Amino acid sequence: MSHDAQEMSQVLRARHEKLATLRERGILAFAYSFEVTGTSIEVVASFEDLEKAGGVSADGQGTHTSLGGRIVGWRDMGKSAFAHLEDRAGRIQLYFKKDIVGAEAFEDLRLLDLGDWIGVEGTTFRTKTGEVTLRVRAWTLLTKSLRPLPFGKVEAASETGERVVHSGFADQEARYRQRYADLAVHPEVREVFRTRSRVVTELRRFLDGEGFLEVETPVLQPMYGGASAKPFVTTHHALDQTMYLRIADELYLKRLIVGGLDRVYEISKDFRNEGLSRLHNPEFTMLEWYQAFTDYNAQMDLSERMLLHVLDRVLGRRSLTLAGQAIEFSTPFPRIRFMDAVSAGLGTDVHALSDRELRARAEDLRIPDLGGAGRGKLLDKLFSALVEPGLVQPTFVIDHPKELSPLAKEHRDDPRLTERFEMYIGGAEIFNGFSELNDPLDQRARFEAQVLLKTAGDEEAQQIDEDYLRALEYGMPPTGGVGMGVDRLVMVLADQTSIRDVLLFPVLRAEE
Using CA atoms in the order 185, 187, 188, 191, what is the torsion angle rounded to 10 degrees? 130
Closest CA to 434 of 303, 258, 276, 284: 303
Average pLDDT over residues 292-296: 98
pLDDT for res 161: 42
Residues 6+ apart with CB under 8 A from 310: 199, 202, 203, 206, 489, 493
pLDDT above 50 for 107: yes
Average pLDDT over residues 131-148: 97
Residue 12 — pLDDT band, cuts 50, 70, 90?
very high
Residue 282 — pLDDT band, cuts 50, 70, 90?
very high
Question: How crowded is residue 119: how many other Cβ atoms within 10 Å of its Cβ?
Answer: 19
pLDDT for res 156: 44
Residue 168 — pLDDT band, cuts 50, 70, 90?
low
pLDDT above 90 for 203: yes
CA distance 290 to 419: 15
Cβ(232)–Cβ(245) below 8 Å: yes
CA atoms within 13 A on the CB side of 374: 21
CATH number for region 189-330+466-502: 3.30.930.10
pLDDT for res 166: 44
Cβ(247)–Cβ(225) below 8 Å: yes
pLDDT for res 1: 62
- What amino acid occupies position 109? L
pLDDT for res 205: 98
pLDDT above 90 for 240: yes
Q: Is 482 exposed, middle or buried (0-12, 13-18, 19+ CB in 10 A)?
A: buried
pLDDT above 70 for 157: no
For residues 93-115, b (16+ Cβ closer than 10 Å) or e, as one string? bbbbebeebeeebbebbebbbbb
What is the domain partition of the chain in residue ranges?
3-167, 189-330+466-502
CA distance 49 to 55: 9
Q: 10-14, 161-165, 311-315, 450-454 — which is least confidently predicted?
A: 161-165
Q: What is the pLDDT of residues 408-463, one digit of tens each?
A: 999 999 999 999 999 999 999 999 999 999 999 999 999 999 999 888 888 888 88
How far does CA 254 lie from the centroid of its chain?
26
Q: What is the pLDDT of residues 25-42, one digit of tens each?
A: 999 999 999 999 999 999
CA distance 295 to 415: 17
Residues 6+ apart with CB under 8 A from 400: 338, 408, 417, 418, 420, 422
CA distance 159 to 59: 18
Of all residues in the chain, what percent carry a pLDDT higher than 70?
96
Residues 6+ apart with CB under 8 A from 352: none
Q: Is 418 helix (H, G, I), strand (E, B) or coil?
A: strand
Closest CA to 376 of 402, 344, 408, 398: 402
Residues 6+ apart with CB under 8 A from 464: 444, 447, 448, 450, 451
pTM for the whole thing?
0.91
**Most confidently predicted of 163-167, 256-260, 357-361, 457-461:** 256-260
Closest CA to 13 of 174, 148, 199: 148
Q: What is the pLDDT of residues 451-504, one digit of tens each?
A: 998 888 888 888 899 999 999 999 999 999 999 999 999 999 999 999 999 999
pLDDT for res 152: 66
CATH number for region 3-167: 2.40.50.140
Q: What is the pLDDT of residues 173-198, one digit of tens each?
A: 999 999 999 999 999 999 999 999 99
pLDDT above 90 for 371: no
